[in-house]
Amino acid sequence: MGGTSDRYRPEVRGLIAEVLELPVERVTDELSFGDVSEWDSLGHMDLLMALEARYGIPLDEDLIARLVSLPAICSYLEERAHA
C-alpha cells in the first residue's frame, strides 16, 4: 500500500505482531480481526490498549469497530496527525 500512512506501517506492524504474539511476516494488509485465533476479541482489546498507550488513541466504540486491520490503523493515525 502506498501513501502517507506508510510512515506508521513498520511500527504498527511490529506492535500488532508483539501484542498478538505473531511472527511479523504474518501481519499483512490482508490480516484483520478474526482472521487468526490470536486476533479474537481479547486480542483486539489488548491491541487497542497498546495503541492507546503508544499513540494516545481513545478507546471508544467507533474505534473498536474501525481499527481492525493494519491499513485501518495506519489510516486513522494519519488522519489524526492531520487533524
This model's pTM is above 0.75: yes
For the segment 4-9, the average pLDDT, to the nearest whole number, is: 79
Instruction: Tell me the C-alpha distance between 52 and 36, whole Å.
Output: 22
Task: Report pLDDT for 74.
Answer: 96
> What are the distances in angstroms from CA 40 to CA 10, 33, 43, 47, 63?
22, 7, 5, 10, 16
Which CATH fold would you assign to the domain 4-81? 1.10.1200
- pLDDT for position 1: 45
Per-residue pLDDT tens for 20-77?
Answer: 999 999 999 999 999 999 999 999 999 999 999 999 998 899 999 999 999 999 999 9
The DSSP secondary-structure symbol of 32 reads B
